[in-house]
Chains A and B, each alone.
Chain A
Amino acid sequence: MEIGTITPARIHIGRSGPRVTTKELLKFRQDHAIAMDAVWSHVDEEKVRELGFKVIHTLIKDKEEYIRRPDLGRRFSKETLEDIKNTCISNPSVQIIAADGLSSPAIDTNLKDIFGILMDGFKHRGISVGTPLFIRYGRVATMDYISEILGAEVTILLVGERPGLATGESMSAYMAYRSSTEKPESQRTVVSNIHNGGLYPVEAGAQIIHITEIMLKEKKSGVDLKI
């Protein structure tokens, strides 16, 4: 039975006749509810602001549309882009962006720790960091538009991962050098599985600092970057 203790996957869970046991059925429903909530809930924007993030949003109006229209979750209105251009630091070495993606709890639980070590780490190394942005209803490709408009060298997008049945709090960091809408998806390097049961947010932060340094030196990212 103990083989089940080495993975959160649903193996070796027993059965009652042809069915799963009540305990496992309830556990499944609970985990499924956690996953649903992760998608449909909202990030506590007050806390994000306290960390120093500027909050913006994509063309999406609500969660329902966010799920239905991935294309709109990647783009911004003219006004928003104008606002970003006018109020944010231009041409930073590093632009940090957080987005709710498909899991708001991922941002709620992980952002503080990873952002702390990232900011201190870049400051210590003399690497300039732009105005941190939080995107409501944001998908990965938003980083391309922001990078282009602000002229960032390395863009780091911290985004809530699509939740599974093991955790609803997993976050990924997508990173790209001169992130651009003209480039294919392969421009991005990813550090994934960031949560307290996977790669700890602080350790992920340390690794992102390390990869950023290499990107700034090599001036490339994604599949082009051989580390």
Chain B
Amino acid sequence: MDKIYTLGMDIGTTTTQLIISEIEVENLTANYLSVEPKILSRKMIYQSPIVITPMYDSYHLNETELIKMFFEFINASGVDIKKIKTGAVIITGESSLKENASALIHSIADSTGEFIVAAAGADLEAILAGCGSGAKDVSYRQNEVLTNIDIGGGTTNIVKFDRGEVSDTFTLHIGGRLLKIDNDFKVTYLSPVLQKILALEGVKVKEGSSIAYREMRKAAELMAGYIAKALTGELESKYDMLYVSGQKALAEATGYFVSGGVGEYVYDEFEESSIMKACLKYQDLGPLLGTMVRKVFKKRGFNLSKPKHRMRATVCGSGSYSMQLSGNTIYVDENILPLKNLPLIRMTYENNTEECVKAARKLIGYHRTQTAIYITYKGNNSYEDIIMLAKGIIQITEELLSNIIIILDKNVGKALGQTVKRYLKETKPIICIDHIQNTHGNYIDLGKMVGGSLPIVIKSLIF
């Protein structure tokens, strides 16, 4: 049994937090019978306080302060930073649109040296939140279709799990901090999208002028209504601007989990006066939005399930679930590890390599850098078939790639790796790992070997 420490840091529109988990991995090299890698347990051993994300102004993260914070948390945890093998630092919600996010996230990822990845991207965020809230596990265990709705400060990330598998994700421009107020109910910030949408409804709000509590209530109620309608596909096309990146999907399910900061106000009932107080404390709409989500969902008969983590869902997801372990019969030239930020190209192999080779070479040519190739293997597992695929891979990488990095869904990695090595005329490092399910994302990081398998993270890098 091997232990890995993993780290998750979630830099959100409103708050920033960090957790460290201890993951127990079955030592697979001692077990010839096992094909699948097994994660025996995930235990959170440190959670930082939830602090307000430091910003210079509404558009710029305070990079110096954040990096300082990162190391303060690590010190407080008492965990040796060198022992942290993997994890993810992610910038969520609207912050990832902020101008200096990209530079910041990479500087944190690089300063740790090891295998901490930088990630962003709305669909990944939605999935990680759904993992952290427990929706994915419950969906798998109970064979149900469940949706997790992570309502943060700037965005609402929605993911639907069908029996444990991600089936849809989408993101809405809805969040508790799209409207900010000061102590005198003066609007200090109003997101342009929210302003336009409210205008459609005849609610006139402007940055700089004051707002009545009753109007805030109305705005929150409308936003909660949009979420409910988006889930069932009833949202009219005039609200299309609410969808981040225009990506739409349906997420009707038998049960709903609500996580994120706003989620705190969905599950407990509060007096009206204390909600108002909370709005003034956070200087935003969050507490009202949570309350309205509860009301709207109740009215529509949506079944609300309690998440394992609410506010900490995304950070728990990024700390404990971002990593996958490969199978244990794999082929790895260890000296080129770890590898970070490799673009991932995907192909499906059935029984013909000609088309694959052409398409893959074109994609690699487009990236002009070391890429990893994900292969959905639909061959017949025969040795002849493996030889054919190996020859195809050599053709794909010829003159284009200096390392051959193959990721497979089916358990044929070691056979394929050995066969590629056999037919390869030059000397190139080869990594051929298997048992990785095709997950969302277009970049991959490969860690160092743990207990006979290779930890990997498939992620997005969209800024």
Residues of A within 8 A of B (CB): 2-3, 112-114, 116-117, 120-121, 124, 189-193, 196, 198-203, 205-207, 209-211, 226-227
A contact residues around B30 at 8 Å (CB):
226-227
The answer to whether the Cβ of B247 comes within 8 Å of any Cβ in the partner chain is no
* A206 close to B32 (CB less than 8 A): no
Tell me whether A227 and B29 are in contact (CB under 8 A). Answer: yes
15 contacts between A and B (CB under 8 A): A2-B163, A112-B383, A120-B419, A121-B422, A124-B422, A190-B32, A196-B381, A198-B35, A200-B410, A202-B382, A203-B329, A206-B417, A207-B329, A211-B32, A227-B29
In the complex, how many angstroms separate the beta carbon of B173 from the nearest chain A beta carbon? 37
| A196 to B53 Cα, complex, angstroms | 53
- Provide the residues of chain B in CB contact with A209, threshold 8 Å: 418
CB closest residue in chain B, given A117:
B383
Chain A's closest residue to B331 (CB) is A206
B: residues with CB less than 8 A from A are: 29-30, 32-33, 35, 143, 163, 329, 331, 381-384, 386, 410-415, 417-419, 421-422
CB of B433 to closest CB in A, whole Å: 12
CB distance B418 to A206 under 8 Å? Answer: yes
Which residues does chain B contribute within 8 Å of A210, judged by CB atoms?
329, 414
Distance of A141 Cα from B80 Cα, bound (Å)? 51
Residues of B within 8 A of A207 (CB): 32, 329, 414
A121 contacts which chain B residues (CB < 8 A)? 418, 422
Which among A116, A117, A201 has the highest number of chain B CB atoms within 10 Å?
A117
CB distance from A199 to the nearest CB of B (A): 6
The answer to whether A200 touches B422 (Cβ under 8 A) is no
Q: Decide if B163 touches A202 in the complex (CB within 8 Å).
A: no
Give the shortest distance, in Å, between A161 (CB) and chain B (any CB).
12
In the assembly, what is the distance between CA of A114 and CA of B383, in Å? 7
A3-B143 Cα distance, complex, nearest whole Å: 8
Task: Give the chain B neighbours of A116 by CB distance below 8 A.
Answer: 383-384
* C-alpha gap A201/B386 in the complex (Å): 11
- Bound CA–CA A227/B331 (angstroms): 16
Shortest beta-carbon distance, A208 to chain B, in Å?
10
Considering the chains assembled together, what is the distance between the CA atoms of A2 and B142 in angstroms? 10
Report the Cα distance A121→B284, complex, angstroms: 66
Q: Are A203 and B411 in contact (CB under 8 A)?
A: yes
